[in-house]
Chain A
Amino acid sequence: MDLNFSDEQKMLREEIQKFCMSDYTFEKREEIIKSGEGFDRDVWKLFSELGWLSLPFNEDSGGFGCGPVELSILFEEFGKVLVLEPYLSTVVLSGYIIDNSSFSRRVEFVEAITSGNKHVSLAYIEPNQNFDHADPETSAVNDGNNIIINGKKSLVLNGGNADDLIVWVSYHDKKALILIDKEQTGLSSIEFPTVDGQTCAEISFKDVSVSKDSILAIDEEAEALLNEAINLATLCVSAESIGCMTACYMKTIEYTKGRQQFGQPISKFQVLQHRMVDMFMETEVCKSLLYKAMLECDSKQDTKSKSVSALKYQIGTSGRLVSQEAVQLHGGMGVSDEMLIGHYLKKLVAIDALFGNSDYHLNKY
């Protein structure tokens, strides 16, 4: 048993940290949000040049073959500065499905993603569902060599910016994942901002016709790919939230040391010290559950889904506690939109809502 990161993993963390600390300032982030684009294309290009977009892809499709451990490192560091770029939707969710499917144009698509030229979003949530997406109403039916898709998907992360969509559909008496170019006739999209400064879209399909070659996977294979992708994404956002929590308690310590009231720094008050200790402890507890889930996913153990549920339950609960405390201890500054601290709260709320919230995962555990 050895729970230390390897030298390569430490180097990767340092590289990401360097970028996050020097290039991804709060002002920069505000600019990106104000642009309405949801992310910055130059930053995305830089991620590609640094090789970060290639991390999780299999080596035979041109990737680095990294696993959950490296992704956790990346997301934890992203969480500390609240990176907006759609790594989760394009690389983790869509990338995983494409890369592990038997799709004929797999290598070409992976190349387009890792070079930063293509965004793909996963459309699996529907308007009348909450957390359980096993049975899609959106349907695909055979029509000669083509299939016709009808239905609607909601909460498609980065859906407005996506070039292609992976759509989860009922396909006669089976289920399927289908890759659809967003320019297809019959497809319409409405974009919405999300609470964490990113964007998502609602996408309608009216008699959208695509070739049968667009089917990425059918039935059990499709279901397994979707579940595995969501599992991996859950792990990633959990790591991201640990980054947020770490930033929350560190920034709170810094703030209370500088804030003078009653003739002394408020960090001297024991009642505040113990609350900051609680923030630290909650973060460490989450980190332990992250290690467990991430290593079990890495070695594909049977218990991995259960461990991911434990993790997602805990980061939902702890994330809220830690970020609420951070806001409280910052006083009025904590609720000012021009201060970074409140944005961690928003990110942690967003993460809790994704892929099953705390309550959902406790039931599932």
Chain B
Amino acid sequence: MEISFTDKDLEFRNEIRSWIENDYPKHVKEKQDKGEALTKEDITDFHKAIAAKGWMGFNWPTEYGGTGWTSTQIYIFQKEFGLAGCPPILPFGVAMVGPVIYTFGNEEQKKRFLPDILNFNTWWSQGYSEPGSGSDLASLSTKAVKEGDHYIVNGSKTWTTLAQHSDWIFNLVRTETTEKRQEGISFLLIDMKSPGVEVEPIITIDGAHEVNTVFFTDVKVPAENLIGEEGKGWTYAKFLLANERFGIAVVGAEIRQLNKLKEIVSKLNNSDLSRKVKKLEIDLSALEMSGLRMLSDIETKGHPGPESSILKIRGTEIQQRLTELFVEAAGEHALIYPGPKGHEADSQPDGPDYAAKALAKYLNYRKTSIYGGSNEIQKNIIAKMILGL
């Protein structure tokens, strides 16, 4: 057993660190640190910078223009970004649909979509959940009916993150009504500019416009936009989720947040709060180690072990707890909150500057235990797959 990274890995880490220090767009990092919302331009700026460095395909094989990094390097890369206060890379293109396209797509599709993902020329969204299909995703009812060389798509997708900026959306659609519901699902790419696609904003309780409902009314989608085979969409979706799980093992941003929280709390002379922070620090330390256990399993055995199944639940619990403790530290000053757009206060209220941002993040982060398979669904999966219940 060996807990340290190799010298080669540490050298790699230094390379990432020094690039972030010198070449990462400073205005993005500053906004992120202050907890301010990033604009479309900010998000584009930092993705373009990463793309220009050749690191956008951080999790892709070199064959498709990726970095070809090992799992350990991917881990270090993501952790350093989090530690430095850089916002996470949007997963929808590079981490979600990209690997599905290069694994299951045809040559034409690879040529058409992959370079734009690597250069961040296209924004992608994920079309999974529907108004009537949340945790029970396989019940989805958005229909794609084949007519000649097109599919006609009708239905709606919801909780669609950043769909207001998206050029493309990858969807799970029902192409057939089958006895086993999963078998009638296909994986279809839809151009957001197609006639019949409408995006309706959902404002979340923190006041942010992050998610949307996307409506499809008789949308004509060329059959060449189908990935892989009809009826195999569920398999591709599961493949995508397995890739997604890896990112959760990385705790850079949480460590940065915790250090900030410790600094705030150290000045408050509140021993009860200090103990809560200590408990959280221990939880985070355990989570980090669980992530490393998973990484070690992937590197040496080729697949994650049972410990990885707890990462989503524990990770999101810790993220939420962090936001709660910031609010607790703000005390009564957490009362003032920026109003709806156009009604924001003109000046900074009394109290610590992190107060309003802390509450916004607290409210926003209620989502983490709901998305990506709610934590209750995660427990169902552990009960069935690991405990054999």
What residues of chain A have their CB less than 8 Å away from a CB belonging to chain B?
A: 1-6, 9, 69, 249, 253, 256-257, 267-268, 270, 273-274, 276-278, 280-281, 284-289, 291-292, 295-296, 298-299, 307, 310, 313-314, 362-363, 365
Contact with A along B262-303 (1 / 0, CB 8 A): 000000000000010011011101110110110111011100
A2→B275 contact, CB < 8 A: no
Stretch of B31-39, B116-124, B307-315 that contacts chain A? B307-315
Q: How far is the CB of A258 from chain B (nearest CB, A)?
A: 12
Tally inter-chain residue pairs, CB-CB below 8 A.
Answer: 118
Identity of the chain B residue whose Cβ is nearest the Cβ of A313 in the assembled complex: B282
CA distance A249 to B278 in the complex (A): 27
By a CB distance below 8 angstroms, the chain A residues around B380 are 270, 273
By a CB distance below 8 angstroms, the chain A residues around B205 are none
Identity of the chain A residue whose Cβ is nearest the Cβ of B4 in the assembled complex: A1
- 4 more A-B contacts (CB under 8 A) besides A1-B2, A3-B1, A288-B307? A3-B292, A273-B379, A288-B293, A313-B282
CA distance A115 to B335 in the complex (A): 69
Stretch of B92-100, B146-154, B159-167, B381-389 that contacts chain A? B381-389
| Given A3-B296, A267-B389, A276-B383, A362 and B279 contact (CB-CB distance below 8 Å) | yes
By a CB distance below 8 angstroms, the chain A residues around B299 are 1-2
By a CB distance below 8 angstroms, the chain A residues around B306 are 284
Q: How far is the CB of A293 from chain B (nearest CB, A)?
A: 10
B379→A274 contact, CB < 8 A: yes
CA distance A4 to B296 in the complex (A): 7
CA distance A285 to B309 in the complex (A): 12
B376 interface hit (Cβ, 8 Å): yes
CA distance A159 to B366 in the complex (A): 53
B5 interface hit (Cβ, 8 Å): yes
A4, A253, A278, A313, most chain B CB atoms within 10 A: A4
CA distance A365 to B278 in the complex (A): 7
CA distance A284 to B388 in the complex (A): 17
Q: How far is the CB of A261 from chain B (nearest CB, A)?
A: 15
| Given A274-B383, A288-B290, A6 and B310 contact (CB-CB distance below 8 Å) | no
CA distance A289 to B314 in the complex (A): 14
Give 10 CB contacts A-B under 8 Å.
A2-B300, A3-B292, A273-B380, A273-B389, A274-B376, A274-B383, A276-B383, A289-B285, A292-B3, A296-B3
By a CB distance below 8 angstroms, the chain B residues around A362 are 275, 278-279, 282
By a CB distance below 8 angstroms, the chain B residues around A253 are 387-389
B204 interface hit (Cβ, 8 Å): no
B387→A1 contact, CB < 8 A: no
B286, B292, B299, B301, most chain A CB atoms within 10 A: B286
| Given A3-B293, A267-B389, A310-B282, A277 and B1 contact (CB-CB distance below 8 Å) | no
CA distance A310 to B288 in the complex (A): 13
A314→B286 contact, CB < 8 A: yes
Partner of B5, one of A1, A69, A268, A278: A1
